Amino acid sequence: MTHSPVQDRSLDGRSADFRRHVFYIHGFDPRGAPIYHGHFRSGLDAASRRWRRRIAVREEPEEAVAAGAWTVDALSEANGRRVETRYEMLVWTDIVSRYWFPRRQVRLAVESFRFALATWRRGILKRFHRPAWALYVAILMTPALVLLGVLVGLVTVAVTVAAVSVAASSLGATAGLSTAAAILASVAMLVVLAMGWNRLKAWLNIWWVTRFLGYLRGMADGAFERSEERAEAFAERMFEVWRQGEVDEILVVGHSLGAIYLVRAGARLLRRISHEAQDDPPEARTGPRIVLLTLGHTVPLYTLLGGDAGFRRDLADIAASDRLLVLDVTSGSDPGSSCRIPLVEGVDFGDRSSRVISREPDFHDILEPETFRRIRMRPLDFHFQYLKPSERGHGFDYFELVTRPRPIETSVAQP
């Protein structure tokens, strides 16, 4: 979570008409800044053409990755307005790595059954059956595939042993030779099945799903650390930028499980700001606007798992506050999210009410048909589509939002 002064290497040397600071909180992913900087840079050309804005990153790739932050300049071809966006990653990859459990497939397989059982006992599977069908399938997919794999393996070995034994006997082989042939054939078949299993794992990313679901359950049950200190550090960094007052707007993005940290950090930021201006009337409030944006979140799944009352209070505080804007963009078909379950599901607001503005990204409308068909077949690509430019229409577009030349009032792209 480092930051460095911005050098003036803008597109045309002019001062910006609008300045925004984006804090991006990644999901349950141990790869860090290189991957996300790569995602961002790879979308620049398409977004520039799509929105008729010359969008460029000032820093060289090595400099941006090392700092975990970069400066984005966007110059409108239509009216010449220039937007300067400081894009800063808030990283928790060290925490992810602690609970990633590499090369421990048996542990992950067991966790998939434990999570499915926990959600069944707590009524979550029943609640998610229709409005979050994609996640419902994702929760049950891994244990089902594990059971199917074991069953197929046992049947394959049994059939192979029987077939080879019969064939060997018909050829007059000795009992010892028949047994050896059956064992070798069984091993060969298991190797073939293992290769197929590995291809299936890579395609569906089943252990990634199991890992992030297991992390949610561990936090909810108190078995894993809830990393409130990291959320506090994120909030302090946000408050520092807010207090400096050098930008017009602060946009905090929580993608996937990063939305959990967004809620914790956002509530702490809100308390800091409220304490700073506790004696000021509403009309005297100063400082940059604050927008919190959740993308493909699993917040209600975590909330309904129970056990973290402090998180539910934090969520209620930011959702009901008039000092910031909370936007939610989550697809009803994203298996890595809570789909159409409301962000504030299971939260008690008392005499307050939620101000969250939610909508779907409508990937089927903003992408070409062949692109949409491709990501539908690749769950991880679908889950990362939020961070990529649109291809058509005027719906949600991450690059448009980040470089929008006016305050963000809605997640929908504005021509």
Q: What is the dihedral of CA 59, 64, 67, 71, to 10 degrees?
A: 50
Q: Please indicate, yes or no, whether residues 290 and 307 belong to a single structural domain of this protein.
A: yes
In a domain, 407, yes or no: no
Show which of 182, 216, 250 is a domain's final residue: 216
Residues 93, 112 within the same domain: no
Domain identity same for 362 and 249: yes
Q: Provide the pLDDT for residue 414.
A: 57
Q: Which domain holds residue 305?
A: 18-97+228-402
d(CA 380, CA 196) in angstroms, rounded, equals 19
What is residue 293's three-state secondary structure? strand
What is the Cα 243 distance to its own chain's centre? 28
Reading across the β-sheet that carries 289-295, which strands appear in turn? 53-57, 69-76, 82-90, 18-25, 249-255, 289-295, 325-329, 357-359
CATH value at residue 357: 3.40.50
Say if residue 340 is in the same domain as residue 258.
yes
For tokens 């080879």, what's the residue?
164
Residue 254 included in any domain: yes
End-to-end CA distance of the chain: 34
| pLDDT tens per residue, range 291-301 | 999 999 999 99
In terms of domains, do 265 and 391 share one? yes
Q: Are 157 and 192 in contact (CB under 8 A)?
A: no
- 336 and 291 within one domain: yes
Is there a domain that residue 11 lies in? Answer: no
Q: Where are the beta strands (DSSP E) in 118-255?
A: 249-255
Query: What pLDDT is attached to residue 103?
Result: 79
Smallest Cα–Cα separation from 236: which of 266, 263, 209, 256? 266
- Identify each DSSP E strand in 308-376 by its residue range: 325-329, 357-359
Tally the domains of the chain. 2
Q: Is residue 9 part of a domain?
A: no
**Contact 43/254 with Cβ under 8 angstroms?**
no
CA dist 37 and 369 (Å) reads: 27
Report pTM. Answer: 0.90
Euclidean distance between CA atoms 25 and 348, whole angstroms: 26
- The span from the CA of 377 to the CA of 21, in Å, is 34
In a domain, 78, yes or no: yes
Low-confidence ranges of the chain (pLDDT < 50): 2, 4-8
Q: How far apart are the C-alpha atoms of 391 and 412, rounded to whole Å?
A: 14
pLDDT value at residue 394 = 76
Q: So what's the pLDDT on residue 285? A: 65
The pLDDT value recorded for residue 284 is 57
Q: Are residues 64 and 124 in the same domain?
A: no
